[in-house]
Structure 1
Amino acid sequence: MGSVADALRDAARALDGVSTSPRLDAELLMAHALGASRSDMLLRHARDDAPAAFGPFLEQRLTGKPVSQITGFHEFYGLPLKVTPDVLTPRPDTETLIEAAIEAFADRAPARILDCGTGTGALLLAALSVWPKTQGIGIERSPAALAVACENAKATGMSNRSVMQAGDWTQDTWRNGLGRFDLVLSNPPYVETHDPDLAPDVRDHEPAEALFAGKDGLDDYRILVPVLPELLAPGGIAVIEIGSRQADAVTAIGEKSGLSAAMYRDLGNNPRALLFRAA
């Protein structure tokens, strides 16, 4: 296999038709094989012999398996989070929700946060890392995903400020006993059931219940958005992730529920989040 540098070059070429970020994927897999950080790998190990473990990792990626499921973790908002096939891998675009909330609260902090469909716990734990005195609840309907969220809360040192609990917003009683929140966050399922543009590594390897939301991708918004007024404390806000073509439709759902919306774009300049307030 030769040196680390040679192996990275060859791997990036091999991954070119599989990944939209072939060089980055190769570097992350190599760092994992070396047991080093990516920066340390690039600075200190480029001339070392490539480790034997890199080959099997690369083969898995060539089948379409996401890097996060090969390495078992993914970084979100500076937090290393455990990832399994039972949870959606948190995307950099989802960090838009955290940035929108920070802008909205400015020099104050929310006292209570609710994360609906917490998955890895990414949104709640990222928010708690921003506001060190804030408490939060993450609800999740998948028992396997809930177990991952609990592990991540403990690993990031925020289990004392977060409660990860079972909850399913498709059930009428899911809000019982939750109370009201200064900030509600959610990255709900929003992919159209037959979306031809969905990447194969997402479609084939990530949990369908975290992705798909009916023929138009709006089924979960129709359930979740109308109950936001009952969940928000006075002056509270909700920040919800959306698909890049869904801003108008989800805004309309919010307006029917007495909410005003502001749209936020991700780093690719695509519509990515709606911030709701009581109108």
Structure 2
Amino acid sequence: MPQSLTYAALLRQSGLDRSDALALFCHATGHNRAWLIAHDRDEVLPEHAAVFHSLAERRRAGEPVAYLTGEREFYGRPFAVSPAVLIPRPETELLVELALARAPQGAKVLDLGCGSGCIPVTLKLERPDLQVTAVDISAPSLVMAQGNATRLGAAVRFIESDWFGALAGESFELIVSNPPYIEQHDPHLQQGDLRFEPRHALTDEADGLAHLRRIVAQAPVHLTPGGWLLFEHGWDQGPGSRALLEAAGFAEVQTWTDLAGLDRVSGGRKG
């Protein structure tokens, strides 16, 4: 008679990285990692095995864990995600930290291209004094972002807009953005999780700087004197980003590196 399958064996036999297997296990069973430690020798329930095997198969085919579980943590909070939005990444937390440090008390803050809402929602929750507005050209993204804001209790104003298009006459003390900045022929677009993420949120279908040019050129009209513009970009786009900021007349132009030591965020202050 074959030996029963334990939960520990279920994870080992999945063929997945352990962290991926654990995330899918928690989603499939409704149990957390502490439960697994206490029950790793228990016999697997058939319903748990069926759900886990299905998810593991999809993960082996390349689907991102975040889309399979419908959630990804950002700045210590769970954000709902779907294939309609980019998956929040730890590198983007640098943009949030820089923004929090430069936002005056009670400042009006704008996030351009909000996606899942992880940036504006986090800014509002970390700094309830801020008046946060977030825009995105994608209606499905706005639905996802609004849902995250509601679930996490963040009072953020969401507007459907092509960058500054719907914001005529409005100004802000701080503008932040994580726009599509991958060059259209970058091979990474056909690799890993990026294959499953919305292409329009990854690349500008040009040289990677097309959206950054628009944002930098139009931001001064919507920034109060002394206000900051901060945006995320690719590891090799620091020099190009600083050149755009300097040409637009920004002061204190600089680039900040992420934990890997790679150029990640650039910005400047309106004179």
1:41 positional shift:
4.3
Q: Which runs of 5+ in 2 are unaligned?
A: none
Q: Aligned partners of 1:135, 1:69: CA distance in 2, in Å?
A: 30
Matched, 1:209 2:200: yes
Number of residues paired by the alignment?
A: 263
Name 1:46's counterpart in structure 2: 40
Q: Aligned partners of 1:48, 1:219: CA distance in 2, in Å?
A: 55
Name 2:259's counterpart in structure 1: 267
1:85 positional shift:
0.8
Amino acid at match of 1:256: A
Matched, 1:67 2:65: yes
Q: Aligned partners of 2:106, 2:176: CA distance in 1, in Å?
A: 12
What secondary structure is seen at the aligned counterpart in 2 of 1:198? helix
Q: Aligned partners of 1:131, 1:203: CA distance in 2, in Å?
A: 31
Q: CA distance change for structure 1 residues 6 and 141 in 2, over 3 Å: closer, same or farther? A: same
Partner of residue 167 from structure 1, selected from 137, 161, 170:
161
State the TM-score, normalized to the length of structure 2.
Answer: 0.90
Q: Post-superposition, which runs of at least 4 consecutive aligned residues in structure 1 deviate over 6 A?
A: none
Q: Aligned partners of 2:94, 2:35: CA distance in 1, in Å?
A: 29
After superposition, the C-alpha distances for 1:220-243 in whole angstroms (9 at most, x for unaligned) are 011111112122223321220010
Name 1:184's counterpart in structure 2: 175
Contact conserved, 1:34 with 1:41, CA < 8 A, in 2? no
Matched, 1:221 2:212: yes
- The percentage of aligned residue pairs carrying the same residue is 36
What secondary structure is seen at the aligned counterpart in 2 of 1:164? strand
Partner of residue 3 from structure 1, selected from 2, 6, 9:
6
Q: Aligned partners of 2:41, 2:105: CA distance in 1, in Å?
A: 47
Q: CA distance change for structure 1 residues 175 and 86 in 2, over 3 Å: closer, same or farther? A: same
Name 1:136's counterpart in structure 2: 132
Contact conserved, 2:242 with 2:267, CA < 8 A, in 1? no
What secondary structure is seen at the aligned counterpart in 1 of 2:188? coil
Name 1:247's counterpart in structure 2: 238
After superposition, the C-alpha distances for 1:62-106 in whole angstroms (9 at most, x for unaligned) are 11111111111111112211111110111111111012223335x
Q: Which runs of 5+ in 1 are unaligned?
A: 16-21
Q: Aligned partners of 2:198, 2:35: CA distance in 1, in Å?
A: 31
Q: Aligned partners of 1:113, 1:26: CA distance in 2, in Å?
A: 39
Matched, 1:146 2:146: no
Name 1:200's counterpart in structure 2: 191
Greater shift after overlay, 135-144 or 108-117?
A: 108-117
1:204 positional shift:
2.3
1:164 positional shift:
1.1
Amino acid at match of 2:255: M
1:69-148 alignment runs, 5 A limit:
69-105=67-103, 109-148=105-144
Amino acid at match of 1:72: G
1:199 positional shift:
5.5
Name 1:19's counterpart in structure 2: none
After superposition, the C-alpha distances for 1:230-261 in whole angstroms (9 at most, x for unaligned) are 22223321220010000000110111111132
State the TM-score, normalized to the length of structure 1.
Answer: 0.87
What secondary structure is seen at the aligned counterpart in 1 of 2:261? coil
Please, what is the CA RMSD of the aligned residues?
1.9
Q: Aligned partners of 1:249, 1:110: CA distance in 2, in Å?
A: 32
What secondary structure is seen at the aligned counterpart in 2 of 1:89? coil
Q: Larger Rg: 1 or 2?
A: 2
